[in-house]
Amino acid sequence: MACMRREIHEEAGIDCTAMRLRGTISWPGFGKNGEDWLGFVFVIDAYTGTPLESNAEGTLEWVEVERILELPLWDGDRQFLPLVFDADPRAFHGVMPYRDGKMQSWSWSRL
């Protein structure tokens, strides 16, 4: 969680005071040279500070959860984001293999 807190502070300028792990995702073959990636997905329930308006990657904007899937997203994001914000309190683990920069499949289970 310390890494997550540091990243959010660097990217958004806020300090997380409450967060919870929602899931993990394994992305075999996702990296630039086909490396395997592993990600941890958190929900931030409380924070202090004023969010930045932008960072080196672009403009930051609050979006209602109900509108997230309307945004331009990676195809893979559309698969796991509903699990992040659903009512099931259990964490999920997903596997999303990539080949040549394209998602091949998606499978998941709750822990």
For the beta carbon of residue 16, count every other beta carbon within 10 angstroms: 20
Nearest Cα residue to 37 out of 76, 82, 86, 91 = 76
Nearest Cα residue to 10 out of 51, 69, 47 = 51
Specify the pLDDT at position 111. 74
Give the chain's residues under pLDDT 50: none
CATH superfamily, domain at 2-110 = Nucleoside Triphosphate Pyrophosphohydrolase (3.90.79.10)
Task: Judge if pTM exceeds 0.85.
Answer: yes
pLDDT in tens, 68-78: 999 999 889 99
Phi, psi of 20 (to 5 degrees): -140, 145
